[in-house]
Structure 1
Amino acid sequence: MEIKEYLQRHPQLKKRIHRFIMHPIKTRPYWWIRLLQPLYIKKGKGAIIYHSVRKDLPPFHQFQLGKYSVVEDFSCLNNAVGNIIIGDYTRIGLHNTIIGPVCIGNHVNLAQGIVISGLNHNYIDTSLPIDQQSVSTSPISIHDDCWIGANAVITAGVTIGRHCVIGAGCVVTKNIPDYCVIAGNPARIIKKFNKKSQTWEKIL
């Protein structure tokens, strides 16, 4: 039986382990867990995470950074509620926030100030404060060869297809097919690549 399955069947043990790993107020791993991160986070050849990056990366979910990929200064990586998988030759720009579950492909470029979060706070029960209700997750997938502009927001459950351009300031709440240019808030497709004519066509 896998450890995760065992803990699902023993919620009290799971709760104790969680308390040992995660600070209840700071909602990040304790310092002694962070010291062990080099032993369990996976980085490919030539991958770089700058020292100022906040690594909220407990060991109970995966974090992988592919070869020659970079996470730039003042970003935040949080896999407390889901895996973060980042492919090869991908650049996570300054001051990005990535909260799992998130899968980012190869040759993806993220500009500055982007939020990619597979997490939502539950709010349905009006008898409880929102911060006392559980969270829900829905995976985000960003396929290979995408460029995402500054201050964009990618919401939970969204899939962005291959070779897409997401304009600065977009709020993306719906899936985007391959080979599209997206702009606006709410985000909409303004160009799409026509494989037959081999041209980018405006969407009116």
Structure 2
Amino acid sequence: MSLKESIKNNPRLKKIIHWMLVPANEARPRGWVKMLVNPFLHKRGKGSAIRRRTRIDVLPFKKFVLGEHSVIEDFCTINNGVGDLIIGHHTLIGMGNTIIGPINIGNHVIFAQNIVASALNHEYRDVTKPIHEQAILTAPIVIEDECWIAANAVITAGVTIGKHSVVAAGAVVTKSIPPYSVAVGNPAKVIKQYDFEKKEWVRVGISDK
């Protein structure tokens, strides 16, 4: 049995290790983890940048990858506490975003401002317990290459947004979006798709009048 499996299978040891990595009731890792552990475990591509006023809540037991020439702007919160967080090459994470893994963001993606992409949910159905004492549920989010997620959008757990798609400002994405689509609204619906035969974007699901 590996060390990782031994820790996972021993609740008391797991609790001690977690306390060593993260202060009680917090998501932010301890300073020694940031300085002495994370730089050796997590991957940063050539030319990538994380702005100084960004909160990077990344821990060593899950992956954090930032691809080549990708940028995470100021005032973001980046969290891999419950799932891997992988960002591809030439991708921009704009100001004020909250990104909670497990999430895989592709290459040449644009996240505008104040977007929430969270693959985490809290269980709530047991009314005999406070919600914070119930299970944490996760379902991976996938943002494929060349997507543009506009300002103030929300992307919920389990969603895949297909290649070269656009999510409009303020949209709430609760279901997967096919490639080469434009989605708007709450809940988000596809209103345009690219027609490769006509070589143009065409309206779908709504009248042209």
Which category of TM-score, normalised to the shorter sequence, fits these structures? over 0.9
Look up the match of 1:175.
176
1:121-160 superposed matches below 5 A = 121-160=122-161
Shift in Å, 1:78: 0.3
Counterpart of 2:17 in structure 1 is 17
Match of 1:71 in 2: 72
The Cα shift of 1:145 comes to: 0.3
Aligned counterparts, 1:82-121, within 5 A: 82-121=83-122
Distance 2:152 2:78 in 1: 16
Residue 26 (structure 2) aligns with: 26
Residue 29 of structure 2: SS of its match in structure 1?
coil
Q: Distance in 2 between matches of 1:172 and 1:61?
A: 25
Describe the superposition over 1:90-146 as per-residue Cα deviations: whole angstroms up to 9, x where unpaired: 000000000000000000000000000010011111011111112110000000000
TM-score normalised to structure 1 length: 0.97
Equivalent-residue separation in structure 1 for 2:148 and 2:88 (angstroms): 14
Alpha-carbon distance in 1 for matches of 2:54, 2:39: 14
Q: CA deviation at 1:199?
A: 1.4
Q: What SS is found at the alignment partner of 2:142? A: strand
Q: Structure 1: which amino acid aligns with 2:164? A: H
Task: Structure 1 unaligned segments of length 5 or more: list them.
Answer: none
Aligned to 2:50: 49
Question: 2:7 is paired with a residue of what secondary structure?
Answer: helix
Kindly tell me the number of residue pairs found equivalent between the two proteins. Answer: 204
Structure-2 separation of matches of 1:2 and 1:49: 33
> Which range moved further: 109-118 or 36-45?
36-45
TM-score by length of 2: 0.94
Q: Which runs of 5+ in 2 are unaligned?
A: none
What secondary structure sits across from 1:32 in the alignment? helix
In 2, Cα distance between equivalents of 1:13 and 1:35: 23
CA RMSD of aligned residues (A): 1.1
